[in-house]
Structure 1
């Protein structure tokens, strides 16, 4: 990546009408590859609970988990901005607890900013973090940490009243100092209007094409997962099939004695081999029982 992406970079991209590309990342090699490809923002999402840990929701993810994965991603990111999620109940209790949690993600995890879920009710917390020098990305619409309240991963803002409330949430987050807002599982018309009203960038996931940028979960985007595919996702590769096919070929070659072959094998030089064989002969005896 030719340039280092910052909060200012993203603001300038919105003003210039340039789209922002964001993907989740949870480890060093993924972060390195995605930043080399030119992805603008790497999100260390608490979605790792579902796609890495095998949890049914993001709720069980802890701050220690997030700090660890953020530290891996921050070491691999070369020019990309790294944003890390504040996990469930690490910021809702008080603004001071949110400040301590965000501080760990930046000090220990190396993140450049944090993301938290919620609208107007989180505005004071956002302001506290921003005043402390911590860049904050908001997240409204379908907020996965509230999945049990929603009754599932469902589209939000499908009524005019709720859509207007969502717009007010977005405006409150902008007023509080958020540098960007993720809009998840929101009707395209609602997302377009919010994007038009805000001076800060919107990042959509299942929110239509008119947001200032888009984000996808890496494992969904690369076809690393199987089974259910979210409606908003587009698979740009089928890595799961590649891995399965490679594993089957490996198993077959091991079974047939084809692997390792001569090109994967190291030999003793002739002199050392003869010396070794003579030493073995003097040692005597057969296999130990």
Structure 2
């Protein structure tokens, strides 16, 4: 199961848009046309091209949309992002992407674009049991003009959720709460709720992992749910100023035996705000105190 989790932690590094996979990229359609379209629609066309290449798994064209100096808020540069996407597409070529452009702001030859993105896929566990994957994220992209089109210079993943389910877990309602943002080395609460499963037993685990490449994992420690079918754990954000994932794993078994009949993995991004060592405030005696 850990291998599956590691693979799909990389999904959100993709950028996607709403377009049918069998359409030609709009950028190619209008390459020889006069620039009669507004900046707004040129950005929308840019993201439509992007999802076309993503759904076609056209690695070369997909990354032609990224500037050489690209980096994201996890510290991944263009080289690392290429390695992650290459591994992902080799493993799961049927992943489908979609997005909605929410807002666009322009500053000369630069643009800031907020996008809601989703992806879906079928996933196999170590026993070749078919499961489902769904992800949803909110991302702010920073673009620079490149000729008649744009390139991505940076991106900030504001929020991110990834849900994977196998077997009986597909039929059980469940929800995970975790903050989108916390201060480095601070305590935060993560809660997990599930609907009472009929004829099933359930145990759960809550942990956190820093977003890194390659991804490093911790061993699951399972506990029984409370009588109201909730589970809570207090976590300490890392002090390395690195974003992290809060991860809940739920395992189901039949009420009459210990045979595992399904499990799920819910993942929520927690962005970690770094501690600023260059802030000074004055106390009542006008003495400077470093925060």
Query: TM-score over 0.5 for the alignment?
Result: no
TM-score (norm 2): 0.23
Structure 1 or 2: more strand by fraction:
2
- TM-score, reference length from structure 1: 0.23
